[in-house]
Amino acid sequence: MLEIRDIWKSYENQPLLNGVSFQIQAGETVCLLGRSGSGKSTLLRIIAGLETAERGQVLWQGQDLSGVPVHLRHFGLMFQDYALFPHRNVAENVAFGLRMQGLSKAEIGLRVVDALEKVNLAGFAGRRVTDLSGGEQQRVALARALAPQPRLLMLDEPLGALDRALREQLGNELRRVLHSTGIPAIYVTHDQEEAFAIADRLVLLHEGRVEQEGQPAEIYNRPASTWVAHFLGLDNLVPAQALAGSPGLVQTPLGLLKPACLPPNGAFTLLLRPAGAYRQARGADWNRIQGRVEDSVFRGERFRVELRCAGDLTLRFDLEEPLPKGEPAELYLPPEAVLCLG
Ligand code: ADP
Ligand code: MG
């Protein structure tokens, strides 16, 4: 449906986007995830037509949109600071984009009712927006973006202004609304948890490029690089070196390890899965990790056990029971819990 093809953009000779490409399919919610300042909002503005790229194209069903002005792209936008009109009521706010389209009064009325129903605000039409909670205001903003029936919705950190508990609740609700309308959406955020909760597919932006894209579980299970692993909070990173003459085994400060992957030549990084550790080996090829217990912290289902290991490494594993602090410990990981990163 939407194709972003090789977009380049810089400000004052500072490169920001260095060849960004990705696609969005019908009905899909894609989360564009990256640190603050990584160019996410700029990319949305380019897609919307509010900003021009130095190179590259934005295509809708194969058609280049470069000559198409903002209002003829039929893309809906929703920003963090909802930008509702405080002196107008809910219905008037939702109707704003519709009046710009020159629709009849009757048609506008129907669309407003429909949009408010979609976001669970039926009956709120006459309320003053200033009397609503932050979460309700956010839903009014979503209704306003939906009312003109855009063919693509772009949401820029829409939950950014809300506190964590409300964000989770509204995040789930947003996901539901986006799926029920079937409108493809680009959802921008710097918050991994939010992105993982909402996305059908994730696009990770780093240093002006797409570092990795895929379904949330895919990316979590197979981070493509140390940067992605770090960004997702997967910090059990171990330097490694392929071992000549022993295919499948790699040299690390923890001793020889057997990952599930074919180790690349030269130096690389291993990622040890926190959830993959056990107190006993259950196979001859399981990896033994030795260290001294620094701490065991209760984390809901499991204990996060911090192990101080050779090579100045601190590794964290999830176990069903805590381990005695200050004591040496041995844990075992199957090869599947040892990943090779590029
Ligand atoms: P993000 O949304 O990922 O936080 P932005 O797209 O807002 O990132 O912007 C990234 C950087 O690009 C900003 O920190 C700023 O340095 C630069 N930038 C963005 N817009 C402009 C502009 N209009 N003029 C100059 N620099 C800009
Ligand atoms: Mg931004």
Identify whether residues 82 and 204 lie together within a single domain: yes
Identify whether residues 144 and 247 lie together within a single domain: no
Quickly tell me which residue has 């306003």 as its tokens. 144
Identify whether residues 318 and 174 lie together within a single domain: no
Rounded to the nearest whole angstrom, what is the distance from the C-alpha of residue 152 to the centroid of ligand 2? 18
Identify whether residues 194 and 263 lie together within a single domain: no
pLDDT of 82 reads: 66
How many other CB atoms sit within 10 Å of the CB of residue 338?
25
Give residues whose Cβ lies within 5 Å of ion ligand 2. Answer: 41
261/239 Cα distance (integer angstroms): 15
Residue from 170, 181, 176 nearest 189 by CA? 170
181-207 per-residue burial string, b: 16 or more CB within 10 A, e: under 16: bebbbbbbbbbbebbbbbbbbbbbbbe
Identify whether residues 41 and 85 lie together within a single domain: yes
Identify whether residues 314 and 202 lie together within a single domain: no
Rounded to the nearest whole angstrom, what is the distance from the C-alpha of residue 161 to the centroid of ligand 1? 19
Q: Which helix (H) or strand (E) holds 209?
A: strand 209-214
Contact between 309 and 315 (Cβ < 8 Å):
yes
How many other CB atoms sit within 10 Å of the CB of residue 8?
15
Residue from 289, 290, 285 nearest 249 by CA? 285
Residue ranges making up the domain that contains 36 = 2-226
Residue 54 makes CB contacts below 8 A (sequence gap 6+) with: 8, 9, 10
Q: Is residue 36 in contact with ligand 1, taking CB distance under 6 Å?
A: yes
Q: What are phi and psi of 137, to 5 degrees?
A: -60, -40
Looking at all shown ligands, the one closest to residue 45's CA atom is 1
Q: Is residue 37 in contact with ligand 1, taking CB distance under 6 Å?
A: yes
Looking at all shown ligands, the one closest to residue 37's CA atom is 1
Identify whether residues 208 and 85 lie together within a single domain: yes
Identify whether residues 172 and 297 lie together within a single domain: no
- Under DSSP, is residue 196 helix (H, G, I), strand (E, B) or coil? helix
Identify whether residues 209 and 280 lie together within a single domain: no
Identify whether residues 47 and 12 lie together within a single domain: yes
Splitting the chain (342 residues) into consecutive groups of 10 residues, what average pLDDT does each group show?
97 96 96 96 96 97 95 89 86 90 90 93 93 88 93 92 80 88 94 91 97 95 92 93 85 95 87 95 95 95 96 96 96 95 80
Q: Whose CA is nearest to atom 20 of ligand 1?
A: 42
Rounded to the nearest whole angstrom, what is the distance from the C-alpha of residue 207 to the centroid of ligand 1? 13
Q: Is residue 16 in contact with ligand 1, taking CB distance under 6 Å?
A: yes
Q: Is residue 192 in contact with ligand 1, taking CB distance under 6 Å?
A: no
Q: What is the dihedral of CA 267, 273, 276, 277, to 10 degrees?
A: 70
Q: Is residue 39 in contact with ligand 1, taking CB distance under 6 Å?
A: yes
pLDDT of 106 reads: 93
- Beta partners for residue 329, in sequence order: 291
- Under DSSP, is residue 167 helix (H, G, I), strand (E, B) or coil? helix
Identify whether residues 34 and 85 lie together within a single domain: yes
16/7 Cα distance (integer angstroms): 10
Residue where one domain finishes, among candidates 174, 201, 226: 226
pLDDT of 295 reads: 95
Out of 42, 45, 203, mutate this one to test ligand 1's pocket (max ligand atoms within 8 Å of CB): namely 42
Q: Is residue 13 in contact with ligand 1, taking CB distance under 6 Å?
A: no
Rounded to the nearest whole angstrom, what is the distance from the C-alpha of residue 213 to the centroid of ligand 2? 19
pLDDT of 245 reads: 80
Q: Is residue 34 in contact with ligand 1, taking CB distance under 6 Å?
A: yes
Q: Which helix (H) or strand (E) holds 172?
A: helix 164-181
Nearest ligand 1 atom, CA 156:
2
Looking at all shown ligands, the one closest to residue 47's CA atom is 1
- DSSP for 268-295? EEEEE-GGG-BSS--STTPEEEEEEEEE
Two structure tokens written together for 209: 């490029």
Residue where one domain finishes, among candidates 203, 226, 249: 226
89/108 Cα distance (integer angstroms): 15
Contact between 80 and 161 (Cβ < 8 Å):
yes
Contact between 326 and 249 (Cβ < 8 Å):
no
- Under DSSP, is residue 333 helix (H, G, I), strand (E, B) or coil? strand
- DSSP for 15-29? EEEEEEEEEE-TT-E
Quickly tell me which residue has 């690089």 as its tokens. 225
Identify whether residues 219 and 273 lie together within a single domain: no
Q: What are phi and psi of 30, to 5 degrees?
A: -105, 125
The number of domains in the chain is: 2
162/139 Cα distance (integer angstroms): 12
Quick one: residue 319, left, alpha or beta (phi over 0 = left, psi -120 to 50 = alpha)? beta
Residue where one domain finishes, among candidates 226, 251, 282: 226
